[in-house]
Amino acid sequence: MKRYDYIIAGGGLAGLSLAYHLNQSILRTKSILIIDKDLKTKNDRTWCFWEKGEQNPFEQIVFRKWNQVYFYGSEGFAKTLDLDDYYYKWIKGIDFYDFVRTDLVTNPNIVFLNATIERIRDTPDGGFVITDQGQYMADYVFDSITPLKLNLPGQHNLLQHFKGWEIVSPKPVFDPTCPTMMDYRVEQNGTGVRFGYVLPIDSYRALVEYTLFSDKLLEPTEYDAELHTYIRDYLKIEDFSIEQEEFGVIPMTDEPADDKELKHIVRIGTSGGYVKASTGYAFSRTQRFTQQLIGQLLTVGSPVRRRKTIRSFFKGLQDSTLLNVLLYGRHSGSNIFTMLYKRNPTPRLFAFLDEDTHLMDDLRIMATVPLGAFTKGMLHALVKRL
């Protein structure tokens, strides 16, 4: 049985980000095994995120970026949002996979294994991984494949699910200088929230997505029907061809990572709480959390479980409150997001969603949502936690 310093279980966003940042540090001399059942040769993901300037280590593979975005809200509200010193950026999954793999293959200490992981176990001697191609041991296993339970009575669980088409129109119908970040004009059915968004590639081509925050998936044909309706009725495009398509489901949950009792296994990615519970955004948080993890390995020699602080408690409660409001239909989700973007400067909202604001900014933003619904949601969230 082969032993490594680190095993990364899962070669998606979190696993490859961790491997990339390890390879940029002095920990690149450690023996590292990356296990994934998929070779990552398809463009199966789209990551959009905002950040200030060009500070991202993956800046050279940013496919498109914009300093302004369209926002279409409820009740006729529409606005071009100026992002100030932020950029809204788009990275294609295949570009990320290729970029990271090209970097990692130059290091002989990093080994890739294309295999299915059958079990991950914590033992007194280290993290133990069983695959369909063999068994492996490591000082630490960074696990991004163990699913969340998503059924705990004290937590809130929604799904962000979406289908997107990269479409081509015979006419120049898109504005390549400005994407549509959120479009809440689409029909809102039931609880949760639904919106479209458009990422233009040029005047003729764009990725068009239909997204829902809800507790249940649609039937496959429903996504297609909603996309057709959105493209026809709101984008006013009758004639187009579909070049590519993508589908995804991201848990939006306040369920904590279940690894506190594990000595040699550390949950990362969705399993580790890297997805922002109230929005489903993960790319920037993944970079921040994996770099923090490497900082711990460098300074204390082992991962440090994230401790609850007063600040993290209140940030988590804010996420739980919004999930509660949406899950129990306490107020229209489209109206909530419209109010947030109508009543707040976009850079302040971005900083808030990045958990990079102080108490006064948090209070300013919280004052712009329906206070009755959010007070009920917060009290119920507290009761569920207790």
76 domain-assigned? no
pLDDT tens, per residue, the chain with 386 residues: 999 999 999 999 999 999 999 999 999 999 999 999 999 999 999 999 999 987 789 999 999 999 999 999 999 999 999 999 999 999 999 999 999 999 999 999 999 999 999 999 999 999 999 999 999 999 999 999 999 999 988 899 999 999 999 999 999 999 999 999 999 999 998 778 999 999 999 999 999 999 999 999 999 999 999 999 999 999 999 999 999 999 999 999 999 888 888 999 999 999 999 999 989 999 999 999 999 999 999 999 999 877 777 888 888 999 999 999 999 999 999 999 999 999 999 999 999 998 888 888 999 999 999 999 999 999 999 998 87
CA 211 to chain centroid, in Å, comes to 13
Which pLDDT value is given to residue 56?
85
d(CA 191, CA 302): 43
187 domain-assigned? yes
Q: Are residues 166 and 203 in the same domain?
A: yes
Q: Are residues 29 and 96 in the same domain?
A: yes
325 domain-assigned? yes
pTM here? 0.95
d(CA 256, CA 149): 10
Contact assessment for residue 321 and residue 377, using Cβ atoms and an 8 Å cutoff:
yes
350 domain-assigned? yes
Nearest to 335 by CA among 180, 158, 191: 191
CATH of the domain at 40: 3.50.50.60
d(CA 302, CA 296): 6
Which pLDDT value is given to residue 86?
96
Q: Are residues 283 and 170 in the same domain?
A: no
272 domain-assigned? yes
Which pLDDT value is given to residue 347?
95
Task: State whether residue 24 is helix, strand or coil.
Answer: coil
Q: Beta-carbon neighbour count of residue 305 at 10 Å?
A: 11
- The last residue of one of the domains, among 232, 264, 299, is 299
Which pLDDT value is given to residue 230?
98
Q: Are residues 246 and 261 in the same domain?
A: no
d(CA 147, CA 271): 6
Q: Are residues 261 and 207 in the same domain?
A: no
CATH of the domain at 166: 3.30.9.10
Which pLDDT value is given to residue 149?
92
Task: State whether residue 70 is helix, strand or coil.
Answer: strand
Q: CB under 8 Å to 372, separation ≥6 — which residues? A: none
Q: Beta-carbon neighbour count of residue 231 at 10 Å?
A: 22
d(CA 249, CA 55): 28
- The last residue of one of the domains, among 233, 252, 271, is 252
d(CA 50, CA 72): 18
Q: For the CA atoms of 110, 111, 115, 119, what is the dihedral angle to 10 degrees?
A: -60
CA 158 to chain centroid, in Å, comes to 14
> Token pair 């191609």 is at which residue?
133
62 domain-assigned? no
Q: CB under 8 Å to 27, separation ≥6 — which residues? A: 294, 297, 298
Q: Are residues 126 and 264 in the same domain?
A: yes
Vertex 108: Cα angle to 104 and 109 (nearest 5): 85
Q: Are residues 22 and 120 in the same domain?
A: yes
Q: Are residues 127 and 7 in the same domain?
A: yes
Q: Are residues 125 and 185 in the same domain?
A: no
Which pLDDT value is given to residue 153?
86
Which pLDDT value is given to residue 207?
98
| DSSP H or E stretch at residue 297 | helix 283-299
* Phi and psi at residue 204, to the nearest 5°: -110, -15
Q: Look up residue 169 and give its two tokens.
A: 């129109």
Q: Are residues 132 and 242 in the same domain?
A: no
Which pLDDT value is given to residue 191?
77
Identify the domain containing residue 245 by its residue range. 157-252
d(CA 383, CA 386): 5
- The last residue of one of the domains, among 299, 329, 355, is 299
d(CA 52, CA 83): 9
80 domain-assigned? no
Burial of 63 (0-12, 13-18, 19+ CB in 10 A): middle
Task: Provide the number of structural domains found in the chain.
Answer: 3
Q: Are residues 344 and 233 in the same domain?
A: no
Q: Are residues 123 and 199 in the same domain?
A: no
265 domain-assigned? yes
Vertex 17: Cα angle to 163 and 291 (nearest 5): 125
